[in-house]
Structure 1
Amino acid sequence: MSEEISKLNELLSSKKLIFQLIQQEAADLKSKFSTPRRSVIDDSISSEVDDIDIIPNEEMLLILSEKGYAKRMNPDTFSLQHRGTIGKSVGKMRMNDSTSDFIVCQTHDHVLYFSDKGIVYSARAYKIPECTRTATGTPLVQLLPLSDGERITSIIPVSEFGENQYLVMLTVNGYIKKVPLNAFSSIRSTGIISIQLVPGDELKWVRHCGNDDLVALASQKGRVIVNSCDKLRALGRNTRGVCAMKLKEGDMMAAMDIIPATVHKMPERCNSRLRDSSPPWLLFIAESGIGKRVPLNAFRQSNFNAVGLQGYKLPADCRLAAVFVAGLSLTEDGESDEQVVLVSQSGTVNRIKVKDISIQSRRSRGVILMRLEHAGKIQSASLISAAAAEVTED
């Protein structure tokens, strides 16, 4: 010990010995850690980190209730079930509340929230807190500056505001218009006007489309109009639009969906011997839980401001709840590998394969999709593609 102390005292008393020791240790470190630096230090990068920089861009389910509660969930929350089953609950709902929208998007998407008063708001999808299936959700009034009595009726996820892209809007009283998508690329925090409404009317459906796409409209009494989006002139935000369908007394619009140009301009993609059963199809869902598929080629293109064709012969006490374009994603045998999610007024969810729904004529009654003895009526429905429906079966 005394010998070690004397060596250290000698080292501390001589600057020459100290520098020699430093040089020796530095040479040893250089020899030991001779691998070149793999990281780069860039002082030009800002030190500020936004939420979007640390949140992964993942697929998610976004659920909206009639009373304005929203929640974000993992797509694997709901497993695949068979046609005619009762289904699985979408989660705890508040009294007299029900699910109104059910979409698939990415966490980094801009979500456009359209209200019944024709106002549009914007927020990133990740702004909605992620929660479990049984959670109630977050009130949209905590995320958006909604006025008293204002309800969100349609939500559109947008990954990019591209050119030659449009939003088609439809009101319950049958007025339709087309607005360029980039008109909504910059929305102030208090929202902006998306459509001009008259008293008694409300904005209910908004869809993303291109000029070569077709738009399918359906009324609650089963009347259908299929026409090209190019027939609609692009208008500004603060306009009313044109008459989409001549509605009979007591009838209102029930649904709107877009038929992509890549589908309706393509030749038949299945080997069915019956031409009328080839894809794509219009998938009809009634409030009573019945539904059917009707081939798109069973409908001729009709002008707007017309009564339309009979698409579904419904009982007098039944109304049409939703219409979707199915057959955009097919299996090798020419059948649809899509799935439809049905949500009842009580919040019960049923998820079934589209191929289990029979193909019928325009005037047929359809088949039972969901039994509603104790679940009221179908409140909303969503079509999920195969890519968005990668879940495990029960």
Structure 2
Amino acid sequence: LDNIDAVISLIRASKTTQEAKAGLIEKFGLTDIQAQAILDMRLQRLTGLERDKIEAEYEELIKKINRLKEILANERLLLNVIKEEMLIIKENYADERRTEIRHAEGEIDMRDLIDDEEIAITLTHFGYIKRLPADTYKSQKRGGRGISALTTREEDFVKHLVSTTTHSRLLFFTNKGRVFRLNAYEIPEGKRQAKGTAIVNLLQLGPNEKIATLLAIDEKDDNKYLLLATKNGIVKKTNREEFKNINKSGLIAIGLREDDELIGVKVTDGNKDILLVTKEGMSIRFDENDIRPMGRTAMGVKGITLSNEDKVVSMSLCEEGTDVLVVSENGFGKRTDINEYRTQIRAGKGIKTYNIAEKTGKLVGAEMVNEDDEMMIINSDGVLIRLRVNEISLFGRVTSGVKLMKTDDEVNVVSISKIKMEEE
């Protein structure tokens, strides 16, 4: 603007636009974009009023540049801007989805288009789920470090691991006593070290609601009951038919008292022996016929009488194996013959199943196993080790067992899961 006459003279003396642009760049030290902007200007912008507008625009841009630099230099300010913009988007566009995406009725079942393959499904503490081919994890010797099961956020770890097939239906039971259903093939496939998909993208979970257990349901299975257990030692038996029609918002699977949570669910024929194991190393075995069938929303009956601070860590069916395998938080474990556990009356205090010491820590899980089974043991770093059950020593009930997985002050075992050995 201060050199307006010189600029006009230069442009008038130039034969082509390119020549004028080159002259402006050379004479006034402008950039290519600035020179082009001058050439694109309309004559009306040379009036006094337009000059004031240009100066006001210049000052406004300088302020904007300073503001943007300030935001980039201050993370708190940046997060506030993001928050404000997200709230505006929410206000303008947060209406419910208006279309429902589903498969057309009466057409081909999606399951017919998918191979029925062995898979492993993992779900982490913070709710990330994925499916993998069952042979992703090769067997290792006991006492090893294991291999990393997945890449998670620093404080996350694998909490549930289920071995099943792509054609099975999965029931997701939450700690709040609700149940959801998904087809196994609907779980997105991931690589061994991938984080997975957030379960909240697949299920409508409430605040502070987490998946307590996964159950793979085979349609051809004749077992007609689901058996549920809570951390406070309550058990309940409900007809499987009551879980047939589960909508997207889930169903109530068990009525819970305020301080209680659902910890385990099993499929049964109604005539099994049940084994409950607690974190303090107690256990009780009783006949399932001691529990009468109840409706979905019922609370259940007492399965074991717990001492102060003790909680149930696992529920197993005795016919699931010949030995009871227990694993402690410091990586110790053992097998004990199920015949050492006599059948008792439901709701008793039970008998000792493990000798807890400072070096072993409390129990994290228990499973009924056979010689041909394999186990997955997962620690709080997300590291997973796969062991053959026949490598784990047999001990009596009141013993501590041997080291199965190395741990240290910061890393403990958090979960165990049984898988079947593949055919040779």
TM-score by length of 1: 0.78
Moved more, 133-142 or 377-386: 377-386
Q: Distance in 2 between matches of 1:114 and 1:351?
A: 25
Q: For the Cα contact (< 8 Å) 2:142–2:387, is it kept in 1?
A: yes
For residues 89 and 208 of structure 1, do their structure 2 counterparts lie closer, same or farther at Cα, with a shift above 3 Å needed?
same
Once the two structures are superposed, the pairs formed by residues 35-54 of structure 1 within 5 Å of their partners are 48-54=107-113
Q: Distance in 1 between matches of 2:267 and 2:120?
A: 18
Once the two structures are superposed, the pairs formed by residues 59-70 of structure 1 within 5 Å of their partners are 59-70=118-129
1:283 aligned residue (325, 342, 349): 325
1:71 aligned residue (130, 143, 148): 130
Task: Tell me the equivalent position of 2:204.
Answer: 145
Task: Tell me the equivalent position of 2:345.
Answer: 303
Deviation string 1:122-178 (CA, Å, 9 cap, x unpaired) is 010111111110100001111111112210110101011755521111111111111
Unpaired segments of 5 or more residues in structure 1?
1-45, 264-279, 328-335
Amino acid at match of 2:312: M
Amino acid at match of 1:319: K
Task: Tell me the equivalent position of 2:150.
Answer: 91
Higher relative contact order (CA 8 A, sep 6+): 1
Q: Distance in 1 between matches of 2:383 and 2:285?
A: 31
Once the two structures are superposed, the pairs formed by residues 1-394 of structure 1 within 5 Å of their partners are 48-160=107-219, 164-260=223-319, 280-315=322-357, 318-327=361-370, 336-373=371-408, 376-386=411-421, 389=422
Q: Distance in 2 between matches of 1:159 and 1:102?
A: 17
Which protein shows a greater Rg? 2
Q: Distance in 2 between matches of 1:287 and 1:120?
A: 28
Q: For the Cα contact (< 8 Å) 1:166–1:209, is it kept in 2?
A: yes
Amino acid at match of 2:415: S
For residues 47 and 200 of structure 1, do their structure 2 counterparts lie closer, same or farther at Cα, with a shift above 3 Å needed?
closer
Q: Distance in 2 between matches of 1:48 and 1:185?
A: 21
Secondary structure of the structure 2 residue equivalent to 1:260 = helix
Q: For the Cα contact (< 8 Å) 2:222–2:269, is it kept in 1?
A: no
Q: For the Cα contact (< 8 Å) 1:225–1:302, is it kept in 2?
A: yes
Deviation string 1:324-364 (CA, Å, 9 cap, x unpaired) is 1112xxxxxxxx12111100011000111111111111111
Amino acid at match of 1:150: E
Q: Distance in 2 between matches of 1:125 and 1:287?
A: 30
Q: Distance in 2 between matches of 1:59 and 1:284?
A: 26
Deviation string 1:173-226 (CA, Å, 9 cap, x unpaired) is 111111111211111111110000111111111111222221110111111101
Q: For the Cα contact (< 8 Å) 2:223–2:268, is it kept in 1?
A: no
Q: Distance in 2 between matches of 1:165 and 1:66?
A: 30
For residues 220 and 144 of structure 1, do their structure 2 counterparts lie closer, same or farther at Cα, with a shift above 3 Å needed?
same
Q: For the Cα contact (< 8 Å) 1:344–1:375, is it kept in 2?
A: no
Secondary structure of the structure 2 residue equivalent to 1:182 = helix
Q: For the Cα contact (< 8 Å) 2:318–2:338, is it kept in 1?
A: no
For residues 363 and 216 of structure 1, do their structure 2 counterparts lie closer, same or farther at Cα, with a shift above 3 Å needed?
same
- How far apart are residue 260 of structure 1 and its match? 2.2
The CA RMSD over aligned residues, in Å, is 1.8
Moved more, 280-289 or 164-173: 164-173
Q: Distance in 1 between matches of 2:106 and 2:280?
A: 59
Q: Distance in 2 between matches of 1:150 and 1:209?
A: 26
Q: Distance in 1 between matches of 2:423 and 2:120?
A: 12
Unpaired segments of 5 or more residues in structure 2?
1-104
**Identity between Structure 1 and Structure 2 (%):** 31
Secondary structure of the structure 1 residue equivalent to 2:159 = strand
Q: Distance in 2 between matches of 1:124 and 1:252?
A: 32
Q: Distance in 2 between matches of 1:131 and 1:112?
A: 20
Task: Tell me the equivalent position of 1:330.
Answer: none
For residues 197 and 161 of structure 1, do their structure 2 counterparts lie closer, same or farther at Cα, with a shift above 3 Å needed?
farther
Higher helix share: 2
Name the count of aligned residue pairs. 319
Amino acid at match of 2:411: G
Deviation string 1:287-342 (CA, Å, 9 cap, x unpaired) is 11001111111111011211100110111572111111112xxxxxxxx1211110
Task: Tell me the equivalent position of 1:42.
Answer: none
Q: Distance in 1 between matches of 2:282 and 2:108?
A: 52
Q: For the Cα contact (< 8 Å) 2:168–2:217, is it kept in 1?
A: yes
Secondary structure of the structure 2 residue equivalent to 1:297 = helix
Q: Distance in 2 between matches of 1:89 and 1:163?
A: 37
Secondary structure of the structure 1 residue equivalent to 2:200 = helix
For residues 217 and 365 of structure 1, do their structure 2 counterparts lie closer, same or farther at Cα, with a shift above 3 Å needed?
same
Task: Tell me the equivalent position of 1:276.
Answer: none
Q: For the Cα contact (< 8 Å) 2:313–2:364, is it kept in 1?
A: yes
